[in-house]
């Protein structure tokens, strides 16, 4: 096949709206975010844990490179690639593509979570020192960052052999830095193996809860038993990951799969950012034990429960409505028509705010930070970053919906004026 340079030629660099700060963002983000990951891990493991102190005073045992980290990382990714290929679970079709076809995806992420969990527990039972992940955290993050860069280069190069209808509309500006960052090819595949779908919810997301478990084991090594705060953080985040994999099919309709190309932004997010920054609370607790009262724990569990309820109910309501608007659970909800033939919900969860799922997600994010107490800012990094991410994501989605639905979207916005927080934003 010839490289798809003609696919690029008919789109000038001005045709495509640029996101994330355009070329400047595409240069700065791939430098700044990997350094942020390493900085935050380093801060989480030094006693002061001050994000304002530079450079952080690292434990003397810390090192950047360890060949074991590379073996563990590649072994982990390979294990999940094998589990992806196992004929388990059902096969679902994605949304219709621009050429009228639909791709098939294995829905076996939850199986992968369970099987890799059992394998891990067997290893722990055989004496594998899972707590050593604490020592290995920085070199593991370095390897994940390096793998993200190399993989993104591979994706960028191979995208020139993809047919032009297989390219993401936003990743074709012709500016190599921006296209490398935002991603050119929409659904890169090796045979039936979908690289974006594989990375989206498996090695990084499951890796996150394994790192959490490693931090718990380290706490056991150091103090004889896990703390209540560590147990809560592990349970809350495991619930979140298990929920995402249980509802894996829903990812097929998300912006990441439907709209975004597969480039550095998603690769790095999936393989490095998520596992190493989302596990910061557990890493923090290893070095900064917190005394948590049962009453405090009960309040935090209630907050996580409310957040999870809003998150799950609102996501399920929209997914059900999009799959089958005549289903009894959604048939009686009030809707408005759009010129595309699709309708928009204006009652139920989606009549409360325009992104009730983000509201629930943010309440959970707060519940994950609270067990870490109030002495440091670092454990709140996730909820602060996530608020910014979801506000930005809401803005991106809003622009896409306005482009898709025009006047009907304006009517929806008038009917449901708040975006994420009722009466606030």
- 219 or 248: CB nearest ligand NDP: 248
- 130 or 310: CB nearest ligand NDP: 310
193: which strand partners? 190
- 89 or 351: CB nearest ligand NDP: 351
Given 308, 311, 381, 382, the residue binding ligand NDP (CB under 6 A): 311
Smallest distance, Å, CB 154 to ligand NDP?
24
- 219 or 361: CB nearest ligand NDP: 361
- Return the residues of window 328-347 that contact ligand NDP according to CB under 6 A: 342, 344-345
- 228 or 258: CB nearest ligand NDP: 258
Return the DSSP state at 380.
G
Binding mask 389-418 for ligand NDP (x = CB under 6 A): ----x---x--xx----------x------
Binding mask 159-198 for ligand NDP (x = CB under 6 A): ----------------------------------------
Strand ranges (DSSP E) for 348-411?
none
Smallest distance, Å, CB 371 to ligand NDP?
18
Given 254, 329, 347, 375, the residue binding ligand NDP (CB under 6 A): 254
* Binding of residue 243 to ligand NDP (CB under 6 A): no
* Binding of residue 313 to ligand NDP (CB under 6 A): no
Of 36-44, 211-219, 299-307, 315-323, which segment contacts ligand NDP by CB under 6 A? 315-323
- 290 or 304: CB nearest ligand NDP: 304
Q: Does 250 sit behind a cis peptide bond, omega within 30 degrees of 0 on the bond before it?
A: no
Angle (CA) 392 232 142, round 5°: 55
Of 69-77, 302-310, 311-319, 368-376, which segment contacts ligand NDP by CB under 6 A? 311-319
Residues 317, 250: Cα–Cα separation, whole Å: 12
Angle (CA) 96 102 103, round 5°: 135
CB-based contacts of 18, cutoff 8 Å, min separation 6: 173, 178, 182
* Binding of residue 270 to ligand NDP (CB under 6 A): no
Of 76-84, 112-120, 292-300, 353-361, which segment contacts ligand NDP by CB under 6 A? 353-361
* Binding of residue 382 to ligand NDP (CB under 6 A): no
Which is it for strands 104-107 and 90-93: parallel, antiparallel or unpaired?
antiparallel
* Element (DSSP H or E) covering residue 66: none
Maximum CA extent, the chain: 65
Return the DSSP state at 45.
T
Backbone angles phi, psi at 100, to 5 degrees: 90, -5
CB-based contacts of 340, cutoff 8 Å, min separation 6: 404, 405
* Binding of residue 312 to ligand NDP (CB under 6 A): no
Q: CA neighbours within 13 Å on the CB side: how many for 280?
A: 29
* Binding of residue 19 to ligand NDP (CB under 6 A): no
Handedness of CA 396, 399, 400, 405 (dihedral sign): positive
Residues 45, 58: Cα–Cα separation, whole Å: 7
Query: 265 to each of 99, 110, 227, how far by Cα in Å?
Result: 25, 25, 35
Q: Which residues bind ligand NDP (CB under 6 A)?
A: 254-255, 311, 315, 318, 321-322, 342, 344-345, 350, 355, 357-358, 361, 393, 397, 400-401, 412
């Amino acid at each position: 096949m010839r490289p798809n340079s003609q696919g690029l030629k008919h789109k000038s660099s001005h045709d495509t709206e640029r996101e994330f700060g355009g070329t400047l963002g595409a240069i700065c983000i791939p430098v700044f975010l990997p350094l942020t990951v390493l900085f935050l891990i380093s801060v989480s493991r030094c006693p002061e844990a001050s994000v304002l102190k530079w450079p952080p005073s690292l434990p003397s045992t810390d090192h950047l490179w360890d060949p074991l980290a590379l073996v563990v990382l590649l072994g982990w990714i390979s294990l999940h690639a094998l589990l992806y290929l196992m004929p388990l679970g059902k096969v679902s079709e994605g949304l219709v593509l621009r050429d009228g076809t639909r791709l098939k995806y294995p829905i076996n992420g939850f199986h992968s979570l369970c099987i890799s969990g059992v394998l891990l527990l067997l290893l722990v039972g055989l004496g594998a020192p899972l707590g050593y992940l604490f020592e290995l955290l920085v070199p593991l993050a370095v390897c994940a960052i390096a793998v993200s860069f190399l993989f993104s280069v591979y994706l960028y190069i191979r995208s020139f052999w993809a047919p032009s209808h297989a390219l993401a509309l936003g990743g074709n500006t012709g500016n190599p830095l921006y296209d490398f960052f935002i991603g050119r090819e929409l659904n890169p595949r090796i045979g039936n193996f979908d690289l974006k779908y594989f990375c989206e919810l498996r090695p990084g997301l499951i890796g996150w809860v394994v790192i959490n478990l490693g931090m718990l084991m380290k706490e056991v090594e150091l103090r004889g038993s896990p703390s209540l705060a560590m147990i809560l953080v592990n349970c809350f985040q495991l619930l979140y990951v298990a929920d995402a994999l249980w509802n894996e099919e829903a990812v097929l309709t998300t912006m990441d799969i439907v709209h975004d190309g597969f480039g550095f932004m998603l690769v790095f997010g999936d393989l490095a950012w998520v596992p190493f920054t989302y596990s910061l609370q557990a890493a923090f607790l290893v070095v900064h034990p917190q005394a948590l009262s049962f009453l405090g724990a009960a309040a935090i569990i209630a907050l996580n429960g409310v957040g999870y309820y809003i998150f799950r109910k609102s996501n399920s309501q929209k997914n059900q409505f999009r799959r089958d608007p005549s289903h009894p659970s959604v048939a009686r909800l009030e809707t408005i028509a759009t010129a595309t033939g699709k309708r928009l919900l204006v009652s139920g969860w989606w009549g409360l705010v325009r992104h009730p799922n983000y509201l629930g997600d943010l309440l959970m994010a707060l519940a994950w930070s609270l067990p870490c107490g109030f002495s440091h800012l670092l454990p709140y990094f996730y909820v602060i970053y996530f608020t910014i991410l979801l506000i930005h994501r809401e803005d991106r989605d809003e622009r896409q919906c306005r482009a898709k639905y025009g006047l009907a979207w304006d009517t929806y916005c008038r009917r449901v004026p708040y975006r994420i927080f009722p009466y606030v934003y």
